[in-house]
A = this chain, B = another copy of it.
Amino acid sequence: MSERVPVLKIGDVLLVSIQVELEDQVVLELQDDLAARIVDSGATGVVIDITAVEIVDSFVGRMLATTAAISRMLDAQTVVVGMRPAVAITLVELGLSLGGVRTALTLEKGLEILARRDDSRPARR
């Protein structure tokens, strides 16, 4: 049986840290879990930490794009953090430039981006 990717809550932000191999079923469960958590918690932001991801393929690239799109539909902004140089290069080579998805080098900077966005909006709860 495949592992689940945990979704943690830090204030108004949900943190997804990719530590396991992303098989189809894992990604589908993650997207289900994340969408449900955004609606339940009223989260305004999602950070996807891919520090542990050393190589990507088009499947992982599309996963990042679709997960961000689902979050946007639910009015939460996604920031992808911890992207390795080789991962960035591969994503561009694959033509997956993650348009519309913010990135930040570290988790800290990712949280800062989301906090700034939040300042310009009223509290959500």
Which B residues touch A84, using CB under 8 A?
39
User: CB distance A35 to B73 under 8 Å?
Assistant: no
Task: Mark A94-107 against chain B: 1 for CB-CB distance below 8 A, else 0.
Answer: 00011000111100
Q: State the Cβ distance, A17 to closest chain B Cβ, in Å.
A: 18
A42-B105, A109-B124, A124-B109 in contact; A83/B73 too (CB < 8 A)?
A: yes
Task: Mark A37-74 against chain B: 1 for CB-CB distance below 8 A, else 0.
Answer: 01100100000000000000000000000100110111
Task: Mark A73-102 against chain B: 1 for CB-CB distance below 8 A, else 0.
Answer: 111000000011110110111000110001
Answer yes or no: A112 CB below 8 A from chain B CBs: yes
Q: How far is the CA of A88 from the CA of B85 in the complex (A)?
A: 29
The 4 A-B pairs with the shortest beta carbon distances in the complex, nearest first, are A35-B85, A73-B88, A69-B92, A36-B85
Binding site for B on A (CB under 8 A): 31-32, 35-36, 38-39, 42, 66, 69-70, 72-75, 83-86, 88-89, 91-93, 97-98, 102-105, 109, 112, 116, 122, 124
